[in-house]
Chain A
Amino acid sequence: MRKPMQTGLIVAAILAVLTITEYLFATHVEDDLVRFLGITVSALGKAVLIIYYFMHIYRLWRPQEAH
C-alpha cells in the first residue's frame, strides 16, 4: 500500500501547486492571452493527473487486470 500512497501524495502536491499557479495567473497577470493560457494549461494538467492517477483510465485497456 505504501507505493500507491506515495503516488497519491505526489499527485496531491502537484495538484496543489497547479491550483496556486492557476490562481496567481488569474490575479497577477494582466495580459489576457497569457492569463488565459496559464489558467487553461493548469486546469488541463490537473484534469489529466486526476483522470490518469486517481480514476485509473489506463485500466480500461487492461481488462484482464482487476486492479
Chain B
Amino acid sequence: MALATAHQEAAHAPAHNHLAINRAGLWLFFFSETILFGLLLSARFYLEGIHREELNQALGLLITVILLLSSVTAYTAETAIEHDNKKVASWYLFFTIVLGLIFAGGVAYEWSIAHFHRNEAFGSIFFTMTGIHATHVITGVFMLILVWAQALRGRYSSKNPWAVSAVVMYWHFVDVVWVFYYPALYLTK
C-alpha cells in the first residue's frame, strides 16, 4: 500500500523532481563504475608496483590531450543546449564524437605497436585497463551519435536538456577515469 502510494507520488512528481531523480541515478551508476575501474587500477599496482613497460609517450600524451579536449567540446554542447543554442550544440556534439573516435583509434594503434604480450603481467593489465576503458569510449560515442541525431532534429532545448546532459556527464566520467589511467600506465617508472 505504502509502495503504491509512493509510486503514485513519484508519477505525479514535478518535472524538477524527475530531473533530480535522473541525476541521482546517473551518479549511482558512476559510483558503481568507479568500483570496476578502481579495482583494475589497484590490480595494476598490485601486479607490477610502479614498474611499467616502455610505451609511446608522445602517443599517450596526444590521446590524453584529445580526450580532455573532447570534454571541453562536450561541455560546450551541454551549455549551448541549456541556452537554446541548438546549432552550436549539434556542432559540438559532432566534434566530441570525432575526438572520441580519434582517441579510440589512438588506443588501437598503441595496441598494434605494443612490444609486450598479453600473457605478461603488465601486458595483461594494460590491455584489460585500456580495453575496458576504450569499450566505454566506444559506448559513449555510440550514445553521442544517437543524441546528436536527435539534436539535429531539434528535439532538445533548455526545457528538455536531460539526454544531452546525461550523455555529456557520461563522457566526462570516461575522461575522469583516463585522468587516473594515463599516469598509472604511462607515467610511472
Contacts and interface: CB of A to CB of B under 8 A. Distances in A.
B16 A67 contact: no
7 contacts: A1-B83, A4-B79, A5-B76, A19-B64, A22-B187, A36-B50, A51-B176
Given A53-B75, A54-B172, 8 more contacts: A1-B85, A23-B187, A26-B187, A39-B183, A43-B183, A47-B179, A63-B19, A63-B20
A66 B187 contact: no
Contacts of B158: 67
Contact count band on B: 35 or more
A7 to B, nearest CB: 9
Interface in B167-189: 168-169, 172-173, 175-176, 179-180, 182-183, 186-189
B175 A50 contact: yes
B176 A8 contact: no
B189 A50 contact: no
A35 to B, nearest CB: 7
Nearest to A13: B72
> Main SS of the interface on chain B?
helix
B68 A60 contact: no
Interface residues of A, number: 38
Most buried by B among A8, A22, A40, A54: A54
Interface string A1-21: 100110011011001100100
Given A55-B173, A60-B27, A43 B68 contact: no
B136 interface: no
B183 A50 contact: no
Contacts of A42: 183
Given A22-B183, A43-B179, A50 B172 contact: yes
Given A8-B72, A50-B172, A1 B16 contact: no
A60 B176 contact: no
A43 B175 CA distance: 11
B101 to A, nearest CB: 20
Contacts of A36: 50, 188
Contacts of B182: 43
